């Protein structure tokens, strides 16, 4: 959740904890009471996005009750009476609202919104939905969102946060401000909504619902029949064009000019073309007049149609030699097939696109568009998944199930923190925002006060107790001492970050499985006792992940999008940062780098397997003259290094073997996730740097041999990483 200026981290933490406890109660209640969902569709384009969700809702009648409302251009003959395809999909349409005022100009659009606002209240009052699904950026959708918001109906907006040209941007953002929940397609759209002060906990990064069907579209065997039906018996795959151009409502005359130039270019290019009529926006009537003046409907190379069912339309796009126009389908759906696209004008300015899109924003001449056709026609590009991975519907249905209907309907906007006037609070001026960092090692338990700049202000160290009760008691005692000292050090403690060995569920603050070095430390809830005693929010993660977080915030990984941190010592651990985010994995065991197998017949590892990297870096060694070790002290990495320096061949051999094994493991990592940087941390990192680089140069693929390998410069990566979980939260990074 992104905090607003009126909430401090303590309040937000306990609110989040309360919400987590209530989630189970809501889900049990939901099993007994169906969620009433109203899906309102205005045109053929939004139905292609809403239909997969509608099918998903319909398939779970024990959870959902679906109500379908149809309005807008669905009910107009000139635009294909597309409500019939909804009926053909066997959806029960509860209400059909004729809301379009003909005229296809700016005034008609305004009047259509007004007409919809007059008719919608009766329908919404009768249906009384728990949630209204609204899609996109059409003026019809704005009427829907306005009516629902004023009638205290929860709104789930699909595809908010995106950027494009024309009045669509303003309408889309207006709907987002009216909506209570959001399902977005891309991470950029998610960030845009957050920057618009929308509540992060009410935003779902789902992907585009239409992609659920798109990504399996190539599996159909009847695409050749579809091509013959719509374009002609003599037309072959990738030897035709799909054209779809809509008016730009903020620059109607220029968009009509571009449309005319596009038609001239297509006539000259002399390829069979499927051209769809423009949508109902202001200016569409003039575009149709241009089409008819040029005789497109009678031209032998053109097939002009008002509507093609979506499942057939995507087949036509998937197998086209090129798509041209300014439809969002070109910059979104076509990318799923690698179909070459020519995007004309400014209607889609700002949209995220794949490499398959060639932009002709200043489409001011026939020759420029013709040249673009020459460049794009017949090419194929890699398929793009910018807008989805095929699992959007599943995510959206699950998201809806956990909407809290008892939550107050009033929207809460998460405004950025407002800086206080520094002349009014001298204590606030002098205090340094800081975190308590806790590091549980196999031998020692450490607590530190860490400030925002990564400086360890104060550090406390004790031997790690052997029992759970003693360990928790000591953690609390040391933290309370640190909090008392923080007052005198002018440090404001914002929360507690805990770094520990073993497999950790950071979402719930639980150690699932510990290392053998820490006794009684499996299936342990660390967050609850610390938070309850200190009244502070608590974050927990394993020491390898914390080392990666420390590098991301304070070390070599700062500003690096993809890197791996590897802790080297008597064992091997680490963390992976991918696209600036820490990777945990589905069962929280991602980045168990020490257990990458580099030899099928290698030594036995503590995990029970053979040939792990860690097995090569934890062997005991023979002591040499001049080296003293207490009989009760276990031989460790420091002893190994000292022995090697004193010329012990066994120690040198172990270090060389371990360095080679580590290098092989890192080569595997480079080939799997392709980071741009590998950071070695820990007491053995300097000794492993050169062997690792040597193995990479010998064994890695040529494209991965240039990966940087660096030794960490951080003194306390586990403590700094634990602190960063707290400090990143206060600076509104999601963790």
Active-site residues, by number, are 543
CB 617 within 8 A of CB 572: yes
Distances (CA, A) of 433 to 225, 527, 539: 67, 21, 17
Q: Which two tokens stand for residue 706?
A: 């240039």
Strand order in the sheet with 203-205: 93-97, 64-71, 35-41, 131-135, 154-158, 181-184, 203-205
**Does residue 595 have a known ligand-binding role?**
yes
Distances (CA, A) of 181 to 67, 133, 184, 234: 19, 10, 10, 49
**Does residue 359 have a known ligand-binding role?**
no
**Does residue 200 have a known ligand-binding role?**
no
CB 725 within 8 A of CB 497: yes
**C-alpha span between 241 and 3 (Å, rounded):** 49
Name beta bridge partners: 566: 574, 680
**Dihedral of CA 353/356/362/363: which sign?**
negative
Phi, psi dihedrals of residue 234, rounded to the nearest 5°: -90, 5
**C-alpha span between 162 and 87 (Å, rounded):** 30
**C-alpha span between 481 and 262 (Å, rounded):** 74
Contacts of 393 (CB under 8 A, 6+ apart): 52, 53, 55, 56, 209, 212
Q: Which two tokens stand for residue 413?
A: 């906007």
Angle at which helices 223-230 and 310-318 cross, to 10°:
100
CB 702 within 8 A of CB 432: no
**C-alpha span between 221 and 657 (Å, rounded):** 55
Burial class (CB in 10 A: 0-12, 13-18, 19+), 418: exposed
Q: Find where tokens 């589905």 sit.
A: 586
**C-alpha span between 605 and 627 (Å, rounded):** 27
Kindly state the greatest CA–CA separation across the chain.
100
**C-alpha span between 462 and 447 (Å, rounded):** 9
Phi, psi dihedrals of residue 711, rounded to the nearest 5°: -95, 130
**C-alpha span between 392 and 43 (Å, rounded):** 21
Q: Find where tokens 């620059």 sit.
A: 251
CB 242 within 8 A of CB 230: no
Name which of 354, 411, 347, 402 is nearest 380 in CA terms. Answer: 354
Contacts of 570 (CB under 8 A, 6+ apart): 617, 618, 636, 637
CB 568 within 8 A of CB 613: no
How does DSSP assign 688-733, residue by residue?
Answer: HHHHHHHHHHHHS-GGGTT-EEEE---S-HHHHHHHHHHHHHHTT-
CB 584 within 8 A of CB 506: yes
**C-alpha span between 59 and 384 (Å, rounded):** 29
Q: Which two tokens stand for residue 588?
A: 């929280």
**Does residue 546 have a known ligand-binding role?**
no
3-state secondary structure of 232: coil
DSSP letter (8 states) at residue 682: S
CB 158 within 8 A of CB 133: yes
Known binding-site residue numbers: 595, 605, 607, 612
| Known binding positions for Zn(2+) | 595, 605, 607, 612
């Amino acid at each position: 959740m992104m905090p607003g200026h009126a909430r401090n981290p303590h309040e937000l933490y306990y609110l989040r904890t309360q919400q987590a406890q209530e989630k189970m109660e809501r889900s049990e209640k939901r099993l007994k009471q169906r969620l009433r969902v109203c899906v309102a569709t205005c045109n053929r384009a939004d139905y292609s996005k809403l239909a997969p969700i509608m099918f998903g809702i319909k398939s779970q009648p024990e959870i959902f009750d679906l109500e379908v409302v149809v309005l807008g251009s669905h009910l107009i003959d000139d635009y294909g009476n597309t409500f019939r395809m909804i009926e053909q999909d066997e959806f029960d349409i509860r209400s059909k609202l004729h809301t379009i005022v003909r005229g296809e100009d700016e005034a008609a659009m305004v009047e259509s919104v007004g007409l919809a606002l007059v008719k919608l209240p009766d329908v919404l009052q009768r249906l009384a939905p728990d949630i209204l699904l609204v899609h996109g950026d059409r003026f019809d959708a704005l009427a829907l969102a306005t009516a629902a918001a004023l009638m205290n109906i929860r709104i789930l907006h699909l595809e908010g946060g995106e950027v494009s040209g024309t009045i669509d941007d303003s309408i889309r953002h207006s709907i987002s401000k009216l909506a209570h929940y959001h399902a977005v397609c891309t991470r950029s759209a998610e960030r845009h909504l957050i920057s618009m002060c929308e509540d992060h906990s009410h935003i779902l990064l789902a992907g585009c619902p239409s992609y659920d069907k798109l990504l399996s579209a190539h599996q159909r065997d009847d695409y050749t029949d579809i091509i013959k039906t719509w374009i002609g018996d003599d037309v072959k795959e990738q030897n035709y064009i799909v054209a779809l151009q809509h008016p730009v409502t903020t620059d109607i005359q220029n968009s009509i000019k571009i449309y005319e130039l596009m038609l001239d270019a297509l006539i000259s290019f002399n390829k069979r073309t499927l051209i769809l009529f423009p949508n109902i926006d202001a200016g569409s009537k003039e575009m149709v007049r241009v089409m008819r003046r040029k005789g497109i409907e009678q031209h032998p190379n053109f097939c002009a149609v008002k509507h093609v069912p979506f499942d057939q339309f995507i087949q036509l796009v998937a197998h086209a030699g090129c798509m041209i126009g300014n439809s969002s389908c070109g910059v979104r759906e076509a990318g799923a097939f690698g179909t070459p696209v020519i995007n004309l004008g400014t209607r889609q300015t700002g949209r995220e696109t794949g490499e398959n899109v060639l932009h002709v924003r200043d489409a001011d001449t026939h020759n420029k568009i013709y040249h673009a056709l020459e460049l794009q026609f017949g090419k194929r590009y890699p398929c793009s998944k910018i807008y989805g991975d095929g699992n959007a519907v599943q995510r959206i249905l699950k998201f809806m199930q956990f909407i809290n209907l008892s939550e107050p309907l009033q929207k809460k906007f998460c405004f950025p923190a407002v800086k206080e006037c520094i002349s009014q609070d001298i204590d606030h001026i002098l205090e340094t925002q800081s975190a308590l960092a806790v590091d549980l090692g196999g031998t020692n338990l450490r607590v530190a006060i860490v400030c925002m700049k990564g400086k360890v202000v104060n550090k406390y160290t004790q031997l790690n107790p052997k029992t759970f009760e003693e360990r928790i008691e000591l953690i609390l005692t040391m933290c309370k001492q640190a909090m008392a000292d923080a007052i005198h050090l002018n440090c404001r403690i914002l929360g507690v970050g805990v770094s520990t060995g073993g497999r950790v569920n950071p979402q719930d603050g639980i150690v699932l499985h510990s290392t053998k070095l820490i006794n009684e430390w499996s299936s342990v809830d660390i967050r609850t006792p610390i938070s309850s005693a200190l009244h502070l929010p608590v974050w927990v993660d394993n020491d390898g992940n914390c080392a990666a977080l420390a590098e991301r915030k304070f070390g070599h990984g700062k500003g690096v999008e993809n890197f791996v941190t590897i802790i080297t010592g008597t064992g091997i651990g680490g963390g992976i940062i991918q696209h600036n985010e820490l990777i945990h994995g589905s069962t929280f065991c991602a980045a168990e780098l020490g257990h990458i197998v580099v030899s099928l017949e290698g030594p036995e590892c503590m995990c029970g397997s053979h040939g792990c990297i860690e097995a090569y870096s934890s062997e005991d060694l023979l002591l040499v003259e001049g080296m003293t070790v207490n009989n009760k002290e276990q031989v460790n990495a420091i002893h190994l290094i000292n022995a090697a320096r004193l010329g012990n061949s066994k120690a040198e051999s172990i270090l060389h073997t371990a360095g080679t094994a580590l290098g092989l493991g890192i080569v595997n990592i480079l080939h799997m996730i392709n980071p741009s940087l590998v950071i070695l941390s820990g007491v053995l990192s300097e000794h492993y740097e050169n062997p690792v680089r040597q193995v990479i140069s010998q064994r890695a693929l040529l494209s991965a041999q240039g990966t940087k390998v660096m030794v960490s410069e951080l003194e306390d990566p586990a403590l700094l990483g634990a602190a960063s979980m707290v400090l990143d939260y206060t600076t509104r990074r999601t963790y």
